[in-house]
């Protein structure tokens, strides 16, 4: 016996086809839901819906399994059949997290959940506490980043399907690693989205860079909000996710009395209490609005943390000048980085030349542990013309300084796959749209976008070609070789120092003091008993060390204590401390 249910408020008739049998559904109820119970329906059987006079069978918008792809029938899947071994799992707190972002398709040569399990011991030894998996909801084509998902309740079959994801999460928990999943609630992919056949999931009243916005506030929005909240709760309840990262929440258009993020936060809190384990929500937002991470009780949206692009931009602009390159024109001084380290947002109500208006709002009374800092992520690497990583752009010594600042900063640090060993492979934008017109539009659009920055068309990797995807896979054979091994040991040492230090786990921005010299290009950051000093200039500098702190880590040879201070060669960073570590 299985009960089928679907929301389709505008349909006059709906049937569900299970195998070769077609069954009429009853409805709609007052909210537009249709139902039918079928005695001989069993897990593993394929099914699809027939709407009105349209004889095309459509997949279930809430399908848990699409083994034949997003255009074909759904398959009944038993969420309770998997034998979990993590009953007593309690994940590490987000406040002490070191996050590692990865893409299942390129993290290993096989590109599967099971293959990723083979690298978990490596991540644990590195000192990672949370892995963040880029979207795995089903999307069309052979490869892609996952942000064009169309069947949001189904796990991509080529990665290993729903059981494969559960095996990965279970294995992570067995090794002490928490798991965060990237989800996309701001748009559906342009190909293979059939939700519009069923109901008003999107609205033309508002638009995003990807088309019409999600319907969070108009007629039918209760059920649309229910769809996304239920999706979030499913990942945490049925797949044992420890949290979610919400893509581009600034594209949510919601003027309701209770914002969608507030509703989601409240429901996740209830789920956390029910499951007896901590669940977290991390938002990607370019609004620089602290309300996103302000608790609901204080009038905020209740997200636990948010990505902080200002931190990335301020640091990157010091490492590599890219004037005339959009938002980087707003950054470039040590004062910007100092502000990002102590105030979180550089643009906190001040005028942005790039945006042509005042941007952001000041952060007050919030821990730095509400903000995720990074120098690389999938966007900041993959959305470059050729997917070049920081190690391709600046020399190793400067890249070591960058990751040192990220891992010693008061924010929650995040690494992007391969960053820890200065991977030689790029991470490029790749997609496989099975609609030829869409594929052509994406390829040509990519070339036009970067032609404005002086790139020749032949220099831009074609995102629709499989070699672009294959080129982006990590090369694990290089991790202990030369500069790769040097970077890996540096990152491992930084992470273990951070995790073992009281001062470096203090998220109070008031306990951070930053000094700098724009001309000589040095910066010091004091965090209690720990001092981080770096020199991004082209001359040796000597900085005071009147407290007599000891050097705990040094990014290169030539860093040395002197009678009154510490000598730093160009492109170097040192961590000094009086802590008993």
Phi-psi region at 299: left, alpha or beta (left = phi > 0; alpha = psi -120 to 50)? left
Q: Are 534 and 403 in contact (CB under 8 A)?
A: no
Which entry of 148, 242, 247, 348 is annotated as an active-site residue?
247
Q: Are 48 and 20 in contact (CB under 8 A)?
A: no
Nearest to 237 by CA among 206, 204, 203, 271: 271
Classify residue 53 by burial, with Cβ atoms within 10 Å: 0-12, 13-18, 19+. exposed
Residue 383 annotated as lining a ligand binding site: yes
User: At which residue do the structure tokens 């928990």 appear?
Assistant: 173
Radius of gyration of the chain (CA): 25
User: Which tokens is 437 given?
Assistant: 């017109």
Report the alpha-carbon distance of residue 422 to residue 402 in Å, rounded.
12
Q: What is the DSSP letter of 26?
A: B
Residue 248 annotated as lining a ligand binding site: yes
Residue 381 annotated as lining a ligand binding site: yes
Residue 22 forms beta bridges with which residues? 17
Residue 497 annotated as lining a ligand binding site: no
Q: Are 489 and 500 in contact (CB under 8 A)?
A: no
Residue 275 annotated as lining a ligand binding site: no
Residue 502 annotated as lining a ligand binding site: no
Residue 312 annotated as lining a ligand binding site: yes
Report the alpha-carbon distance of residue 415 to residue 100 in Å, rounded.
5
Active site residue 481: no
Active site residue 42: no
Residue 245 annotated as lining a ligand binding site: yes
Residue 517 annotated as lining a ligand binding site: no
Pairing of strands 512-517, 522-527: antiparallel
User: Which tokens is 255 given?
Assistant: 């003027």
User: Which tokens is 246 given?
Assistant: 């919400």
Report the alpha-carbon distance of residue 185 to residue 196 in Å, rounded.
15
Q: Are 548 and 561 in contact (CB under 8 A)?
A: no
Residue 378 annotated as lining a ligand binding site: yes
Residue 247 annotated as lining a ligand binding site: yes
DSSP string, 76-122: ---TT-S----TT--PPPGGG--EEEE-HHHHSSS-SHHHHHTTHHH
Nearest to 409 by CA among 527, 300, 578, 275: 527
Nearest to 224 by CA among 233, 237, 211, 215: 215
Which entry of 60, 217, 284, 289 is annotated as an active-site residue?
284
User: Which tokens is 519 given?
Assistant: 């001309």
Which positions make up the binding site? 245-250, 309-313, 378-383
Which positions make up the binding site for substrate? 245-250, 309-313, 378-383
Known catalytic residues are 247, 284
């Amino acid at each position: 016996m299985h009960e089928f249910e679907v929301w389709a408020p505008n349909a006059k008739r709906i049937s569900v086809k299970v195998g070769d049998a077609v069954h009429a559904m009853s409805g709609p109820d007052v909210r537009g839901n249709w139902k039918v119970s079928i005695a001989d329906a069993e897990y593993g059987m394929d099914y699809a819906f027939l709407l009105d006079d349209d004889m095309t069978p459509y997949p279930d918008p809430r399908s848990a399994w699409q083994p034949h792809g997003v255009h074909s029938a759904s398959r009944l899947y038993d969420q309770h059949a998997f034998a979990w071994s993590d009953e007593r799992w309690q994940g590490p707190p987000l406040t002490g997290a070191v996050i590692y972002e990865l893409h299942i398709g390129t993290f290993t040569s096989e590109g599967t959940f099971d293959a990723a399990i083979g690298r978990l011991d490596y991540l644990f030894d590195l000192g990672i506490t949370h892995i963040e998996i880029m979207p795995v909801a089903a999307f069309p084509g052979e490869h892609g980043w996952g942000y064009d998902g169309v069947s949001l309740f189904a796990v991509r079959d080529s990665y290993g399907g729903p059981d494969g994801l559960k095996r990965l999460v279970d294995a992570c928990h067995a090794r002490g690693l928490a798991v965060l999943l990237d989800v996309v609630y701001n748009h559906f992919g342009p190909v293979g989205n059939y939700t519009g056949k069923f109901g008003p999931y999107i609205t033309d009243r508002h638009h995003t860079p990807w088309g019409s916005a999600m319907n969070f506030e108009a007629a039918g929005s209760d059920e649309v909000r229910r769809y996304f909240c239920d999706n979030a709760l499913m990942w945490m309840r049925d797949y044992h996710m420890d949290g979610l990262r919400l893509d581009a929440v600034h594209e949510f258009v919601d003027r309701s009395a209770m914002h969608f993020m507030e509703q989601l936060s409240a429901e996740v809190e209830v789920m956390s209490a029910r499951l007896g384990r901590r669940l977290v929500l991390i938002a990607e937002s370019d609004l620089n609005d602290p309300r996103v991470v302000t608790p609901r009780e204080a009038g905020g949206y209740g997200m636990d943390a948010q990505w902080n692009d200002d931190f990335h931009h301020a640091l990157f602009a010091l490492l590599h000048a890219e004037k005339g390159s959009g938002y980087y024109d707003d950054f470039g001084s040590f004062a910007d980085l100092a502000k990002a380290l102590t105030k979180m947002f550089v643009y906190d109500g001040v005028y942005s030349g790039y945006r042509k208006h005042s941007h952001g709002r000041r952060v007050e009374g919030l821990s730095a542990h509400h903000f995720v800092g990074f120098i690389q992520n999938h966007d900041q690497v993959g959305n470059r013309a050729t997917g070049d990583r920081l190690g391709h752009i600046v020399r190793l010594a400067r890249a070591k300084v960058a990751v040192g600042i990220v891992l010693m900063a008061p924010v929650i640090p995040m690494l992007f796959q391969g960053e820890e060993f200065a991977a030689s492979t790029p991470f490029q934008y790749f997609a496989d749209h099975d609609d030829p017109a869409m594929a052509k539009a994406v390829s040509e659009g990519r070339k036009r976008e970067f032609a404005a920055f002086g790139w020749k068309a032949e220099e831009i990797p074609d995102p629709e070609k499989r070699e672009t995807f294959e080129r982006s896979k990590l090369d694990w054979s290089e991790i202990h070789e030369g500069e790769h091994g040097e970077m890996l040991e540096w990152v491992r040492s930084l992470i273990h120092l951070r995790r073992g230090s009281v001062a470096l786990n203090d998220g109070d921005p008031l306990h951070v003091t930053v000094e700098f010299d724009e001309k000589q290009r040095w910066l010091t950051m004091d965090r209690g008993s720990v001092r981080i000093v770096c020199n991004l200039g082209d001359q040796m500098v000597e900085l005071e060390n009147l407290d007599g702190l000891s050097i705990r880590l040094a990014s290169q040879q030539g860093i040395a204590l002197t009678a009154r201070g510490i000598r730093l060669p160009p492109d170097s960073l040192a961590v000094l401390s009086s802590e008993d570590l």
